[in-house]
Amino acid sequence: MPATATELPLGVQLAAHGGRLAVWSANATAIELCLFDPGDADWVTATVPLERAGDGLWAVEHRGLVPGARYTLRAAGPQGPGQVFDPGMHLLDPYARGLVRSASGEWRGYVQTEDPFDWGSSVKPRTPLDRTVVYEAHVKGLTKLNPAVPEELRGTYAGLAHESTIGYLKDLGVTAVELLPVQQFVSEQRLVGQGLANYWGYNPLSFFTPHGAYGSRAAQLGGTGAILREFKGMVKLLHEAGIEVLLDVVYNHTSEEGLAGPTTSFRGLDNRSYYRQTEDGDYVDTTGCGNALNTSVPAVSRLVLDSLRYWTQEMQIDGFRFDLAVTLGRDAEHEFDPDHPLLHAILDDPALQGAKMIAEPWDVGLGGWQVGHFPDGWSEWNDGFRDRLRRFWLTDIGAARASGVAPDGIGPLARRIAGSAHVFAAERGPLASVNLVTAHDGFTLADVTAYDEKHNLGNGEENRDGASSNLSFNHGVEGPTKDPRILAARRKAMRNLLGTLLLSAGIPMLTAGDEMGRSQRGNNNAYNQDSELTWLPWELDEWQRDLLQVARDLVRLRRENPALRPVRYGVWGETVPGATQMDWYNKDGEPMTMEDWDSPAERTLQYLAASTPESEPFNRILLVVHGLEEDVQVVLPAHEGVESYTQLWDSALQVFPGEVAYRPGATIPIRGASVQLFLANEPA
């Protein structure tokens, strides 16, 4: 995709005698640069007009554009539907590499120094998708309570880079941390009025600047350059440990909110071009956040690409998860187009090659649910996987308790375990699916087993916010309990959910804290809760330490068994390299019948999966899934080439005692509602 007709770099470019600033606005009639006193960012010391540079570009060269300079833009233009130009309003350069606040609280652009950063021997890990295990985390929440991190570093980029944090991630076995938004964000006006703050960060002010509040105190005192160095240092140390850094990026909307919201940049520069609107100037809001960036305009798509290039090249980021990515793929008529130029440009851009691209494949606009419809090369959050696992292990169990029968058989779950081939096109394969059970948005793993209803009163919206349907099951009591039977059932349900997530085809994503049973006390929308409610606990009870060990074991078993992580879908009757050859058996060790797949009374299957080697040795596993609370006897299947089965894990056990071997045809007990994993051994 051509950036614009001129390829003129946007933002500030430093030169020997000052610098050049370029900005895009198709509808402005005049733009001026404002420079501020070095000691008072509210005192304008110079105003300089920008000149037209063609194709909507405006540019100026000035000796005052030097490292450390504070600056803004002011724009004049026509009035009419969709136009809100105000030549007296200070606006941020959309490409500003640094931001500072003035004494009055207003934002100013900051000209960043171009001092090179010493990356040393650090290189991007380039972890293959089939070996990737994503860990979704919040920079502050991950380390704020960790006593192993020095107090002054807790909740910061440096705290994430601390040896204890990296050691924990390595020990857990995850290969990538996916950070909730770290581009500079602010809190919505409504939250500020309530005395609350946006904790998650999905309200971006700038697409090129790291969020300053996540810098350590020393970095914040050192200014934007010090924060930038601390961020890069974090990436460097994670890379040296073999851990990739993915960013959750919000290019679908900005913190300018609706037309009554604060004007800080895009709206004042060219509201008509940057935001989706009707002919009358009303916003077409497909994000639920007040506005939606209009990526059908080439210059807006260029902004997204330039930002991605910056984070990929300058900051050495390994990939991105795109919040409400459907909005990015909407055309000039505001309809989603899987062939949208931006979606393909993100994949094809030479500067972005090798980066992982993950879509949240929905937004709140008409036709907003687009799971499975992104181009080949994208991976997508798979909400169907999430919902099916929750139904099978939670609401179906609850329904069976209440009525004596579960609503569904085991067939729908089997499709998810095998890679959701009914959702993603054959050429995309199972690695198009990012599998999840929870995310930052919604119940935690512990809470989805302990609450039937959301408990969001603390969010200030009288419990109206957050999803009302959570596919959760409290196992008999809402919230905390001391009943040992309920606690045992909840903890087994957590192990079942973790096990099915980490032993299924696709890319698994863990939500930080789920591996240790973190609770938010039933709050399923804790976006404005910056407290111990949302920070990870590091002082763990015995059952939490046991659950953490389960998570470690499952990640290790996934890594050791390539049959669990196919690259391609298998084709019946063909040998497909990188695919898994699948055989399905019922509890009697016989091939599954249609009744076995569909019957709510027969929720037991045995999944025998063999790898088709490309780069790893041959491997075959047997996964046994039983979805009723009554115990069952299972006959291990006889299969050509299988001499014995070695039990590797059992979700019914809080602590797995060790491996046990069985012969094909052996009858073994399976505890109610549980999962077992076996290694299928070839003859010696």
pLDDT tens by residue, 419-436: 999 999 999 999 999 999
pLDDT at 114: 76
Give, as one character, the DSSP assignment of residue 156: S
pLDDT at 571: 86
pLDDT at 519 over 90: yes
pLDDT at 564 over 90: yes
pLDDT at 16: 84
The dihedral through the CA atoms of 341, 347, 352, 357 has a sign that is: positive
Give the number of C-alpha atoms closer than 13 A to the C-alpha of residue 200, restricted to the C-beta side: 19
pLDDT at 2: 35
CB-CB neighbours of 274 under 10 Å: 27
Over pLDDT 70: what percentage of the chain? 99
pLDDT at 4: 44
CA distances from 186 to 144, 198, 212, 255, 272 (A): 20, 7, 11, 7, 23
Model pLDDT for residues 464-483, shown as the tens digit of each residue? 988 999 999 999 999 999 99
3-state SS assignment for residue 97: coil
323 is catalytic: yes
CB-CB neighbours of 392 under 10 Å: 27
pLDDT at 484 over 90: yes
Average pLDDT over residues 403-409: 95
* Global pTM exceeds 0.95: yes
pLDDT at 531 over 50: yes
Average pLDDT over residues 553-581: 94
pLDDT at 610 over 90: yes
pLDDT at 572 over 90: no
pLDDT band at residue 6 using 50, 70 and 90 as cut-offs: very low
Comparing CA positions, the residue from 385, 356, 646, 372 lying closest to residue 501 is: 385
Residue from 188, 360, 363, 408 carrying the catalytic annotation: 360
* Alpha carbon distance 78, 89 (integer Å): 15
Model pLDDT for residues 355-372, shown as the tens digit of each residue? 999 999 999 999 999 999
360 is catalytic: yes
Over pLDDT 90: what percentage of the chain? 95
CB-CB neighbours of 236 under 10 Å: 20
pLDDT at 591: 97
The region, left, alpha or beta by phi > 0 then psi within -120 to 50, assigned to residue 487 is alpha
Average pLDDT over residues 77-83: 94
Average pLDDT over residues 523-548: 97
pLDDT at 220: 96
pLDDT at 611 over 50: yes
Model pLDDT for residues 244-295, shown as the tens digit of each residue? 999 999 999 999 999 999 999 999 999 999 999 999 999 999 999 999 999 9
Domains parsed from the chain with CATH numbers: 11-110 (2.60.40.10), 134-242 (no CATH), 251-375 (no CATH), 578-681 (2.60.40.1180)
Comparing CA positions, the residue from 300, 52, 321, 383 lying closest to residue 181 is: 321
Burial grade of 325 (CB within 10 A; 0-12, 13-18, 19 or more): buried
**Amino acid of residue 96:** A
pLDDT at 5 over 60: no
Comparing CA positions, the residue from 71, 211, 207 lying closest to residue 138 is: 211
pLDDT at 671: 98
pLDDT at 1 over 50: no
Residue from 323, 363, 408, 596 carrying the catalytic annotation: 323
Model pLDDT for residues 665-674, shown as the tens digit of each residue? 999 999 999 9
pLDDT band at residue 3 using 50, 70 and 90 as cut-offs: very low
3-state SS assignment for residue 339: coil
pLDDT at 425: 97
Tell me the average pLDDT of the chain. 96
